[in-house]
Amino acid sequence: MTIQTVTIPALLGGSFSAYLAAPSTQPRAGIVLIQEVLGVNAIMRQTADDYAKAGYLVLVPDLYWRLEPGVQLDPEDKDDWAKAFELLKAFDVDSGVEDLKASLSFLRQYPSSTGKVGSLGFCLGGKLAYFMATRSDADANVSYYGVEIDQNLAEATKIQKPLILHMAGNDEYVSPSAQATIQQGLKDNPLVTIYRYEGMSHGFSRVGSSAYRKEAAELARDRTLAFLKQHLG
């Protein structure tokens, strides 16, 4: 596996950096890995490395670059969480989706890429993975505990490629009524698969943090890898 930082031209002008983990196997399908509210921190890099070890070319774009490039926050630090929520308030989702589309194009054109690229995101990234399903031509999309999806179901008619939603049963940021709204709104879409993890809190797959729950995280990862293999190869 090789690791490097790459620069991606933004569709709206400017450029941003991204962490790229490449497996030793070739050719490779790609994953645009979408950050939590905590930025491209050690946890996101470790997650990228894990998917690269599974054979995928993994790119983690710095989506906060317009606000503050290079943000890396610690999920165990209260002050870092306060900063994360400040950044989230200032973050422009539409620009973020455009940056993800640029990241998708970058991976598709990358040497040794098969051209098949999906997205996979957590928390804020889970919401953005949903938008990648509704607003981009990514080949497959995976959302972990995506926030505010219930408020954006009008876009669901635009989903053209397979989407998984991993939902935490006791998610403190996605209420039971919001989860019911999502399930009701998407139940008739054959492209969407929803998995609910009863008793789990937000962040249950955040490896190396106090929120991590091994059994649920491993089940979700197994489902994700099977889904990616089916749709990306």
Q: What's the one-letter identity of residue 187?
A: K
**∠ CA(21), CA(26), CA(31), 5° rounding?**
40
Task: Please tell us whether the domain made up of 2-231 is placed in CATH 3.10.560.10.
Answer: no
Are the CB atoms for 158 and 191 separated by under 8 Å? no
How far is 226 from 211, CA to CA, in rounded Å? 24
| 206 class by beta-carbon count within 10 Å (0-12 exposed, 13-18 middle, 19+ buried) | buried
Burial tier of 123 (Cβ tally within 10 Å: 0-12, 13-18, 19+): buried
Pick from 101, 79, 104, 91: nearest CA to 37: 91
Residue type at position 157: T
The pLDDT score that the predictor gives to residue 179 is 98
The Cα–Cα gap between 2 and 157 comes to: 39
pTM for the model stands at 0.97
Residues annotated as catalytic are 171, 202
Give the per-residue pLDDT at 26: 87
Q: Which pLDDT score, from 0 to 100, does residue 25 have?
A: 86
Q: Which residues are CB-neighbours of 110 under 8 A, at least 6 positions away?
A: 30, 57
The H-or-E segment that residue 45 falls in is helix 42-53
Give the C-alpha separation, 191 to 93, whole Å: 24
Name residues whose C-beta falls within 8 Å of residue 224's C-beta, 6 or more positions apart in sequence.
Answer: 120, 142, 164, 166
Token reading at 8: 């991606």
Domain ranges of the chain: 2-231
Q: What is the pLDDT along the chain (233 residues), one digit of tens a residue?
A: 999 999 999 988 999 999 999 999 889 999 999 999 999 999 999 999 999 999 999 999 999 999 999 999 999 999 999 999 999 999 999 999 999 999 999 999 999 899 999 999 999 999 999 999 999 999 999 999 999 999 999 999 999 999 999 999 999 999 999 999 999 999 999 999 999 999 999 999 999 999 999 999 999 999 999 999 999 98
The answer to whether 173 and 147 are in contact (CB under 8 A) is yes
Rounded-to-integer distance, Cα 228 and Cα 223, Å: 9
